Each structure stands twice: as C-alpha cells, then as structure tokens.
Amino acid sequence: MTKMRQRLMVMVAAALGCSAGAALAQPFPGGLPACLAELNTCHAGLGTCTTTLDVRTTDLGTCATDLNTCHATLAGAQQSAGLCLADLNACDAGLGTCTKTLDVRTTDLGTCATDLNTCHATLAGAQQSAGLCLADLNACGANLEACTTDLSTCHATPAAATTFSASGQTSCWNGSGVVIPCAGTGQDGDTQAGAPLSYTDNGDGTITDNRTGLMWEKKVAGAGTCLDALHAVDAVCIWSDATGAWISAVNAEGGTGYAGYNDWRVPNVRELMSIVDYGLFSPVIDPIFGPTAAGTYWSSTSVAPASSGAWFVSFFFGDVDALGKVDTLRVRAVRGGR
C-alpha cells in the first residue's frame, strides 16, 4: 500500500469520527457535505492515480522487456562485433601477406624486366650473327658454284696418262701355239707390263679410259654411211669425210655437241691402239664400248711419205696397217688427252 493510500485512510477515519458526534476542536469547513465531496474527489483522484499507476507499471514492464531485449541485442551486437573484429584481424593478416607477396612479385617483375632486356640484347646479337652467317653462306654458295664449275671443267678435260697401258694379254703360248703356264716365260702374259686396262661407262653414250684419261664414243647398233648414221657400229666413210664432215656433225650434234662436248676428233693411231685388248679376239675390245665390229677403223694418222694413205687398226686381230684414204672404213670419235 502506497503512502497516498495511507493518507486517504486517515482522512476517511477523521470524517467518520466527525459524523459520530465526536466534538471537533475546529469544525471541518463546510461541514460533512463538504468533507464527503472532498472525499469523493479524493476517491476519483485515487482512481485516476491508480489507473495511471497501472499504466506506468505496464509501461515499466514493457520497458523492462525492451531493456532485456536491448541487453540481448547488445550481447548479440557485442558478439557480432567480436566476430567482426576477428575478421578484421584476419583481413589485416591477409593484407600483410598480400603486401609481402606483392613485394616479392615486384622484385620478380624487376628481374623479369632485366632478363627481357638481356634477351633482347642476345636476340639482337643473334640476328647480327645470323646476318654474318647468311653472308658467309652466300659466299660459300658462290665458292661452291665456282668449285662445281671447275670440277665440271676438270671432268670435261680428262687427265693425260702417266703410265703406259698394258696390252690386256694374260695367257702364254709355245712356238706351236699351245697354251702353256706363263711363269718364267717372259712373255707379255707373264710380265703384264703397264697399267691394267680400266674403263668407266659414263651413262651418256661415252666411255672413259681410266688409264689414259681419253673419253671415247660408245657405238650403237645400225649401218649406213658415217654422215647418215653418226654413231652406228657398221656405218662407213672415206677418210676425208671421217676427219671432216663426220666429226664436224658429231661436234654440232644437239647444238652443244655429242654428250654435251664439242671437242671430239678422230683418234691418232696410237690412241686407237690403246683400246685394243689383246687378251680378246674378234673383236679385240672390251664389251663396255658397246657393239664393235671386228673390222677396220680409221685413225687420223697419215702414212708418211705416202700421204694418200692413212693408218687403221683392225679389231679382228688388233693389227695395224694402212689403206688409201678413198677406202671406206668405220670410225670412232675420241676427246681429251691433249
């Protein structure tokens, strides 16, 4: 019970005592009616105060609830602030790590830039070296071309023989023509003096004698006159045609000459004898020369002093003789050996 209620009770008790006829030392102004009116007013005020007090009590409960809610919210906010602070600390730590990593990357970038500059310098040097190399390569190519030309010229001009060729004979006979062992006989088949016969087929219609260095025309099948069938094995002509119109046609063949050479000639008698193989018979010549008739072939050597005749070589036996230049014989061209 509040102090105001206690005061009201005292006032009521005083009023009641007045109505029972107790003598008042000082009568209540207005008498009992005024007192009752005042009491009613007091009751009304008490009711209003009580209502107001209830409202305030309710408000106080609401305030206490709000305060508790505020405390809970504050606790949650403090917890959230703690988590936020932890996240902030973690973020700071991450930022520190990132800064260190950035420093390292900045250093690496500097190193990379240095390496790139070095690379550019190296590339420039390499390009300069490549330019020099290309110049050297061009010079080498020019030298190679000159060397190839010289080599072609060398091939086109066979070397002169340094060793007399052997006859090709490897057998021996007695006085009756019976074959006997060669050892100790002193015959050609025994001594086999001179360089062994050796030839190369050049694959272009020519044969090279590896010992004398002479290049020979390779014959083909056919017949006629020398002027009609330049390389036929059985084509014949007089000596003046052989050493004149025929050899000129051979050097003019195809516009560049037979097999690409235009310095062909009729062989002299010793050159023609050099391809006779006395180990063979009819014809006495290596088969590498192509078809060869076992007959007589003109040389360019005239008979002295009977200049109306010329020497020939027979490829039947390999013998050498002379005939008049008006006779018709076969002919084979040669080049080189000068």
Residue 23 pLDDT more than 50? no
- Domain containing 280: what range? 198-335
| Number of domains, the chain | 2
Per-residue model confidence (pLDDT) at position 63: 65
Q: Which two tokens stand for residue 318?
A: 């390999």
The residue type at 107: T
Q: Residue 245 has which token pair?
A: 């119109």
Percent of the chain with pLDDT over 70: 80
What confidence score (pLDDT) does residue 223 get? 92
Q: Is residue 75 part of a domain?
A: yes
CA distances from 95 to 86, 87, 109 (A): 14, 12, 20
Mean pLDDT of all residues in 174-196: 78
Instruction: Say if residue 204 is in the same domain as residue 115.
Output: no
In one-letter notation, the amino acid at residue 329 is L
Three-state DSSP class for residue 247: helix
**317 & 226 share domain:** yes
- The answer to whether position 173 is within a domain reads no
Where residue 299 falls (left for φ over 0; alpha for ψ -120 to 50; beta otherwise) is beta
The pLDDT assigned to 18 comes to 43
Q: What is the CA radius of gyration of the chain?
A: 71
CB 213 within 8 A of CB 337: yes
The SS3 of residue 218 is coil
What share of the chain has pLDDT > 90, as a percent? 37
Segment 304-328 shows an average pLDDT of 93
39 or 314: which leads in pLDDT = 314
End-to-end alpha carbon distance in the chain:
161
Is residue 169 a part of any domain in this protein?
Answer: no
Q: Which of 124, 143, 170 is the last residue of a domain?
A: 124
| CA atoms of 293 and 300, how far apart (whole Å) | 19
Q: Which of 71-75, 103-107, 270-274 has the lowest mean pLDDT?
A: 71-75
pLDDT for res 209: 94
C-alpha closest to that of 211 among 265, 263, 277: 277
- pLDDT above 70 (res 147): no
90, 106, 124 - which closes a domain: 124
Q: Rounded to whole angstroms, how far apart are CA atoms 304 and 297?
A: 19
pLDDT in tens, 77-134: 678 768 867 876 886 787 788 678 768 877 876 886 788 688 688 768 878 887 887 8
- Choosing from 99, 124, 149, the residue where a domain stops is 124
pTM of structure:
0.51
Q: Say if CB 264 and CB 231 are below 8 A apart.
A: no
With a cut of 50, say whether residue 161 has pLDDT above it. no
281 in helix, strand or coil? coil
Locus of tokens 């002299």: 268
Is position 147 within any domain? no
Per-residue pLDDT at 160 exceeds 70: no
Q: Say whether both 87 and 211 belong to one domain.
A: no
In this prediction, residue 99 carries a pLDDT of 77
DSSP 274: T
Residues 326 and 221 in one domain: yes
Residue-averaged pLDDT of the chain: 81
* Tens-digit pLDDT profile for residues 278-292: 989 899 999 999 898
Rounded to 10 deg, the angle between the 3-19 and 31-156 helix axes is: 170
Task: For residue 151, tell me if it sits in a domain.
Answer: no
Lowest-confidence segment of 12-16, 51-55, 83-87, 227-231 by average pLDDT: 12-16
